[in-house]
Amino acid sequence: MNISIIGTGHVGLVTGACFAEVGNQVICVDNDEKKIATLKKGKMPIYEPHLEELVKKNVDEERLFFSTLIEEGVSKSSVIFIAVGTPPKENGEADLSSVEKVCSQIARNMKNYKLVVEKSTVPVQTGQWIKRLFNLHDSHRDFDIASNPEFLREGSAIHDFLNPDRIVIGVENEKAANILKELYSPIIKRSFDSSLKSSLVNHIPLLITDLQSAELIKHASNSFLAAKISFINAVADICERVGADVEKVAQGMGYDPRIGPAFLKAGVGFGGFCFPKDLQAFIQIAGKFNYDFCLLKEVEKINKDRPRRLVEKIKEALWVLKDKTIGILGLAFKPDTDDMRFAPSIEVINLLQKEKAKLKVYDPVAMDKAKMILEDVEYGKDPYQVADASNALVIVTEWNEFRDLDLAKIKGLLANPIIVDGRNIFDPVKMKKLGFIYKAMGR
Ligand code: UGA
């Protein structure tokens, strides 16, 4: 199939590369000339494991192309995915101006039937707005709108795209459903093939719904996962007050298949460009339809308080923070990404700077991005340099590299043997034995 993807952010680029990988002709379009030039040179604008190889392979095999011109994407493809950003406005609502702009450009350039698919995370009823916009244009009117939310996670995006746990397609007629079913059939088939090898039949559910339901599935899924995290973080606070261990509580809860173990990791809270903004956008769109989503407001409130809770622990260990040097390990909002958007580290650093602490920081891949955001911090070349002469070491992102640290060496380097662990990566008993003052979240 000939497809185009408008927007080469995390979702757009991964979607384009993966659809090319399964045999389609794909044009990835972005109005950011610098980004397209970078991609044409084979360089990735984001850090995502295996993305560079996949892009290179599909460019070399002439299935994947890059362009700055929407008209090129529209004229050369029958299916057009919209994967532009939907950042939050000041009031938390999703800013749909890029979606609208791109749709107008598509509408202006349509000369024959097109299936226009929303891949960006959008509030419910965006599909209806897009349809209205297309109908306002005098151009070709033979089109369908579909919603095909994406559930990939940064850091394992390629794997998630090619091995999805479900495919959701929101459509208004069978023609649109059949096009998308055909487009996804190699992915569904591949999963059958690979699972048959290990004699496990792993069926990928393909759910076909109306447009509104598909749109809601995305917001509801992300908000539910965020709610799980805030729930366990609230339990973590109670654990601290009563002398329980949140890791054990989560483990005990997770064995119940109705609860499941995932997303029950207590810590400094969730960040990134999905959960915080989707939660806000869901609260806003619910409010627009006269539903006060108090439950999600509380989820957000608990999460916003997590960096303060971590800083409180640093204060409990060090008392006055003014002029103390604090080493921060991990800046990205989670491991295996360089994404700093809404990263909890930003607020932790902000709160520590308000207390006039001096900061040394390190992240295995996010430091270049961090340099564009953080001020007055010293960057270490590795965790040991950050620990050297610091009064405390704080774990903010759980990179594997930190789990494998030589803790005896770290202890020798620190001015005070204090580790405040915002992600519960170490065993408290072992840390005590090693002679650390070790503070974790909910243990
Ligand atoms: C999330 C969803 O997991 C994807 O399914 C979805 O497609 C994506 O948003 C999106 O909407 O595009 P992502 O933001 O990449 O993916 O990251 P997650 O792995 O879900 O983690 C989000 C945040 O929650 C991170 O800051 C992580 O540290 C935190 N988290 C996660 C916890 O604090 N505890 C947990 O138990 C799990």
* pLDDT confidence bin for 339, thresholds 50/70/90: very high
Tokens of 393: 């070491």
Query: What sign for the dihedral angle of Cα 78, 84, 89, 93?
Result: positive
The maximal CA–CA distance of the chain, rounded, in angstroms, is 74
pLDDT at 193 over 60: no
pLDDT at 50 over 70: yes
Distance from residue 270's CA to the centre of ligand 1 (Å): 7
Question: Is any ligand 1 atom within 6 A of the Cβ of residue 277?
Answer: no
* Cβ 190 vs Cβ 162: under 8 Å: yes
Question: Is any ligand 1 atom within 6 A of the Cβ of residue 121?
Answer: yes
Q: Which residue numbers are catalytic?
A: 274
pLDDT score for 202: 60
Q: What is the arithmetic mean of pLDDT over 398-416?
A: 97
Question: Is any ligand 1 atom within 6 A of the Cβ of residue 20?
Answer: no
Distance from residue 174's CA to the centre of ligand 1 (Å): 33
Query: What sign for the dihedral angle of Cα 362, 367, 371, 373?
Result: negative
Closest CA to 68 of 35, 97, 101, 99: 35
Ligand 1 atom having least distance to the Cα of 157 = 15
Residues 159-170: tens digit of each pLDDT: 999 999 999 999
Atom 25 of ligand 1, residue of closest alpha carbon: 270
- List of residues 6+ apart from 312 with CB closer than 8 A: none
Question: Is any ligand 1 atom within 6 A of the Cβ of residue 330?
Answer: no
Pick from 154, 215, 309, 342 the residue to mutate for probing ligand 1's pocket: most ligand atoms within 8 Å of its CB: 154
Higher pLDDT, 285 or 195: 285
* pLDDT confidence bin for 192, thresholds 50/70/90: low
Question: Is any ligand 1 atom within 6 A of the Cβ of residue 151?
Answer: yes
pLDDT score for 200: 44
pLDDT score for 141: 78
pLDDT at 198 over 70: no
Question: Is any ligand 1 atom within 6 A of the Cβ of residue 335?
Answer: no
Q: What is the arithmetic mean of pLDDT over 195-207?
A: 64
| pTM, two decimal places | 0.94
pLDDT score for 139: 67
SS (H, E, C) the chain: CEEEEECCCHHHHHHHHHHHHCCCEEEEECCCHHHHHHHHCCCCCCCCCCHHHHHHHHHHCCCEEEECCHHHHHHHCCEEEECCCCCECCCCCECCHHHHHHHHHHHHHCCCCEEEEECCCCCCCHHHHHHHHHHHCCCCCCEEEEECCCCCCCCCHHHHHHCCCCEEEECCCHHHHHHHHHHHHHHHHHHHHHHHHCCCCCCCCEEEECHHHHHHHHHHHHHHHHHHHHHHHHHHHHHHHHCCCHHHHHHHHHCCCCCCCCCCCCCCCCCCCCHHHHHHHHHHHHHHCCCCCHHHHHHHHHHHCHHHHHHHHHHHHHCCCCCCEEEEECCCCCCCCCCCCCCHHHHHHHHHHHCCCEEEEECCCCHHHHHCCCCCCEECCCHHHHHCCCCEEEECCCCHHHHCCCHHHHHHHCCCCEEEECCCCCCHHHHHHCCCEEECCCC
pLDDT at 155 over 80: yes
Residues 259-318: tens digit of each pLDDT: 999 999 999 999 999 999 999 999 999 999 999 999 999 999 999 999 999 999 999 999
Ligand 1 atom having least distance to the Cα of 263 = 36
d(CA 259, CA 246): 15
For the chain, list the domains and their CATH numbers. 2-209 (3.40.50.720), 224-439 (3.40.50.720)
Ligand 1 atom having least distance to the Cα of 278 = 11
Q: What is the arithmetic mean of pLDDT over 68-76?
A: 96
pLDDT at 201 over 60: no
Atom 18 of ligand 1, residue of closest alpha carbon: 153
Q: Mean of the per-residue pLDDT values for the chain?
A: 95
Q: What is the arithmetic mean of pLDDT over 86-98?
A: 94
Question: Is any ligand 1 atom within 6 A of the Cβ of residue 272?
Answer: yes
pLDDT at 124 over 60: yes
d(CA 439, CA 146): 49
* Cβ 164 vs Cβ 135: under 8 Å: no
d(CA 174, CA 372): 47
Question: Is any ligand 1 atom within 6 A of the Cβ of residue 247?
Answer: no
**φ and ψ at 378, to 5 degrees?**
-100, 135
Q: What is the arithmetic mean of pLDDT over 349-373?
A: 97
Distance from residue 283's CA to the centre of ligand 1 (Å): 18
pLDDT at 221 over 60: yes
pLDDT score for 199: 40
Distances (CA, A) of 349 to 208, 303, 331, 340, 346: 44, 16, 10, 13, 5
- Percent of the chain at pLDDT above 90? 94
